Amino acid sequence: MQLVTVKKKNFADYRQFIEKETEFELDFLVQRLKGKKIAMINATAYGGGVAEKLHSMVPLMKDMGVDVDWWTILGHEEFYNITKNFHNCLQGQEGNLTSSNIETYLKYNKMNASYMKDWHYDFIVIHDPQPAALIEFREKGEHEKWIWRCHIDTSTPNMEYWDFLYKFIVQYDAAIFTMPDYVKEGADLKNITFITPSIDPLSMKNIPLEKEEARAITCRFGVDTGRPLISQVSRFDPWKDPLGVIDVYKIVKKDFPSVQLALIGSMASDDPEGWDYLYRTLRRAGEDYDIKVVTNFNGISDLEVNAFQTASDIILQKSLREGFGLTVAESLWKGTPVIGGNVGGIKLQIEDGVTGYLVNTVEECAQKVLTLLRNPVLADDMREAAREKVRKEFLVTKNIQVYLRLFYQLSFPEHGFQKAQDQN
């Protein structure tokens, strides 16, 4: 198990984004939680939405006076190959969970649990399935509360995987899902709470960039800044549908020949299948030089993601299935219209026709792209609504508020457990 070092952040800088009563509540919760220690545990310190969120939430909580540490579990490729299957199969993909897979999964969880021997935390928050079985190998302290934070959609899981995982998560004191739809029907878990992920408005990925500055950065990747640009920022993964995005672009290109497409993808250390899918994407793109496929391996990091989200005329997030889709909130925050797959957390963020468009098919998506390209004034109308939606619901301060409420409710059960979302 490895302690993640985080960069310092100042909560005072974030007060500008929140209302007075939220400030009061946050200050109250921090006071009441004095002396409590919290551990966040996930699989990786870099790559993907979970790590991203922890990098902003953990240092901010620390600066507010919350005693929180972030740990990542240790694993090798054999473990990550299996947990990648967990990730996909819990979201419904077919596949068998073999006894050797189970053995490997448990072996790594047991090994990581052995690092926890001398731990003294009041709250242990486990993110996603990779470390979910730690609870099985830990002699739980009397006042220790375990919380499972599920970032994926487990509503219609592959039952073999779900039944296996269920044995562990049922032992937790609370479970957090992104939205009610994601909870498997009949799951008898304690203290179910809902928290949407959030973005950090002051991170390098989200700080305001001038359009010209953003365009200059995209130019370095071969984008012609005088022509329209549509982009998708996502891992190369079947659920993110990069192949569908290329098909959308090809339809649009017929009516709007000047259009360009950028596919920006990060390759994560716990995502061995990502490389295969990147190559499939490149094959689908073929020799069309107006399609740019770029990754963290050729110069994309946070500032570049910010630049593409700011400079693009339209952002797509054409997911076929999605946990939340942080990239949607990131782009809406920049006032760039987003066309998203009508699935998962994207539905929470895009109000169809108000902050963007929700689409079900390649054809529908292409039509909406054409609508926006032909009527830029529509995009202007969406800008303010999009930013306000994100400010109220999807900034990191909101996320912290809901976590602290949950810790408070678990610490003082005499106050009764109330779903955090009901208190908004």
Binding site for ligand UDP (CB under 6 A): 48-49, 52, 205, 233-235, 264-266, 296, 300, 305, 323-327, 330
> Least distance in Å: CB of 66 to ligand UDP?
23
> Closer to ligand UDP at the Cβ: 189 or 326?
326
> Least distance in Å: CB of 85 to ligand UDP?
16
> Least distance in Å: CB of 266 to ligand UDP?
3
> Closer to ligand UDP at the Cβ: 201 or 265?
265
> Which helix (H) or strand (E) segment is 276 a member of?
helix 273-285
> Least distance in Å: CB of 326 to ligand UDP?
4
> Least distance in Å: CB of 385 to ligand UDP?
21
> Least distance in Å: CB of 308 to ligand UDP?
9
> Closer to ligand UDP at the Cβ: 47 or 75?
47
> Least distance in Å: CB of 240 to ligand UDP?
7
> Closer to ligand UDP at the Cβ: 234 or 336?
234
Query: Any long-range contacts for 26-32 (C-beta under 8 Å, 24+ apart)?
Result: 26/64, 26/397, 26/400, 26/401, 26/404, 29/401, 29/404, 29/405, 29/407, 29/408, 30/64, 30/65, 30/66, 30/404, 32/408, 32/411, 32/412
> Least distance in Å: CB of 424 to ligand UDP?
22
> Closer to ligand UDP at the Cβ: 109 or 349?
349
> Which helix (H) or strand (E) segment is 316 a member of?
strand 314-317
> Closer to ligand UDP at the Cβ: 75 or 274?
274
Contacts of 127 (CB under 8 A, 6+ apart): 40, 41, 42, 43, 50, 54, 149, 151
> Closer to ligand UDP at the Cβ: 26 or 314?
314
- Residue 291's CB is within 10 A of a number of other CB atoms, namely 20
State how far the Cα of 271 lies from the Cα of 48, in Å rounded to an integer: 10
Query: Any long-range contacts for 8-15 (C-beta under 8 Å, 24+ apart)?
Result: 8/59, 8/62, 8/63, 9/56, 9/59, 9/60, 9/63, 9/202, 10/63, 11/60, 11/63, 11/64, 13/202, 14/60, 14/201, 14/202, 14/395, 14/396, 14/397
Which residue has the CB atom at the shortest distance from ligand UDP?
Answer: 49
Alpha-carbon torsion angle 336, 6, 278, 206, nearest 10: 10
Q: What are phi and psi of 243, to 5 degrees?
A: -70, -40
Which of these, 423, 155, 200, lies nearest to 306 by C-alpha position? 200
> Closer to ligand UDP at the Cβ: 88 or 104?
88
> Least distance in Å: CB of 150 to ligand UDP?
13
State how far the Cα of 85 lies from the Cα of 2, in Å rounded to an integer: 23
> Closer to ligand UDP at the Cβ: 173 or 304?
304
Place of tokens 């001398």: 118
